[in-house]
Structures are given as structure tokens and as C-alpha cells.
Amino acid sequence: MTPATRDDRTRLVGGPHTEESRATPYRLAVLGANEPDVVWAAGGLLYDGSVRGWNITVYLAECRDDRPLRILGVNSELLDGFSSEAQRPDAIIASSGLFGENNVVRAYFEDTSRPNRADVAVWGGERPLNPRRGAQQLEHRLSAAARAFKVQAMIAARLDPESVDPIEVFRGDEQSFLAAQLL
């Protein structure tokens, strides 16, 4: 299938998993080291997804202040309470550093990256996700509103708001993320 432009920030590939064909909200789990890590890497995607009605939960290895994530419209929980059996999201995006350091995260990725499970992607580092499936660079173009909210979330997280890029970069299986309209 050929990607078609839906608007200036989301490429769309038709198929059985598109948002238009879903009866339930899209479920996205984000696994990060702490709030600044997640806001810097995926804040725009989180905001854009939350305003589209996605059910997004951020799991953190260390919780300091959830205000930056609340600004983006998402909830957070400690990674310690994360259960791969109880959590079956449609997609998972994680910090490659956390993937490399945390056995729970690594096992969860291995389990969910099997066919017909969740789509997976990472930010940062050079670690391949799954040698059998090609990991490509994925880009999410932030909406104007996402950029504005990400700036505020970065200020709350004590990050430099001048470093907000209009594109957030991840690595994963492009076709599955396009079909789910995550990009």
C-alpha cells in the first residue's frame, strides 16, 4: 500500500487497524526513565494522541513530578507496578536506555513484539528492536498545539524549551505504526 497524506502531520495507510475502523480507543504504553526523558522524546506524540482520544499511560522507572505529563494530557504510573500480563496495549514506545537496563521492559518487548501483538518502537540509542523485523526511523510531525503544549511541559520538567523540534524520531516497524496512524 502507498502512504496517503491525511494532513500535515499524520501519514495514513489504510487497513484493518486504522483508527477509523476501531470500536475502542487506541491504547499506547510509553516506558521511560522519568518525566523529562518522556517529555523530551515523545511529548508531542503524547499530546497529539491524547487529543485524538487515545488511551495513553506512561510508565516511569522514577517518578519525580507528574505535572509535565499532565500538561500533555496523559497519566503516569511507576514501572514497578507494570505487569505485562495485565497491560496489552496496541503499541509500546520506550526509551532505548530503559530497554537496555531493565529486564522487565526487555521481556515485555520480546513478548509483545511477536506477530499479532503490540507494535513497538524506541527512542534514543542504536539498539535494534527485533533482528527479524526491520527497524526503520519513524518520524512524528508535531501539530502546532503539540509544540505549544510540549514547550510548557518542558518548562515544567526543567528542560530547555528552545530545543523543541517539530519532529520526534523513533525506531520501529514503519508499516504497523502508519497503519495505526501513530505517525
Alpha helices in 72-158 (DSSP H): 96-101, 103-112, 144-156
Q: Quick count: other Cβ atoms within 10 Å of Cβ 7? A: 9
Grid coordinates given for 162: 528552545
Q: How confident is the model at residue 14 (pLDDT cuts 50, 70, 90)?
A: very low
Any idea which of 73-77, 134-138, 144-148 has the lowest mean pLDDT?
134-138
Dihedral of the CA atoms 45, 38, 128, 119 (nearest 10)? -40
Residue spans of the domains in the chain: they are 27-179
| Beta bridge partners of residue 58, listed in sequence order | 30, 76
Give the pLDDT of residue 7.
40
Give the pLDDT of residue 63.
92
The pair phi, psi for residue 34, each rounded to 5°, is: -165, 180
More reliable by pLDDT, 131 or 57 = 57
Q: How confident is the model at residue 16 (pLDDT cuts 50, 70, 90)?
A: very low
**125 vs 147: CA distance, rounded Å:** 23
Give the pLDDT of residue 8.
36
What's the gap between Cα 43 and its chain centre?
A: 9
The pTM of this model reads: 0.80
Q: Which residue has the cell 522524546?
A: 41
Any idea which of 7-11, 113-117, 145-149, 172-176 has the lowest mean pLDDT?
7-11
Dihedral of the CA atoms 106, 109, 110, 111 (nearest 10)? 120
CATH architecture of residue range(s) 27-179: 3-Layer(aba) Sandwich (3.40)
pLDDT digits over 158-183, tens only?
999 998 999 999 988 766 665 555 56
pLDDT digits over 149-159, tens only?
999 999 999 99
Mean pLDDT (the chain, rounded)? 79
86 pLDDT higher than 90: no
3 pLDDT higher than 50: no
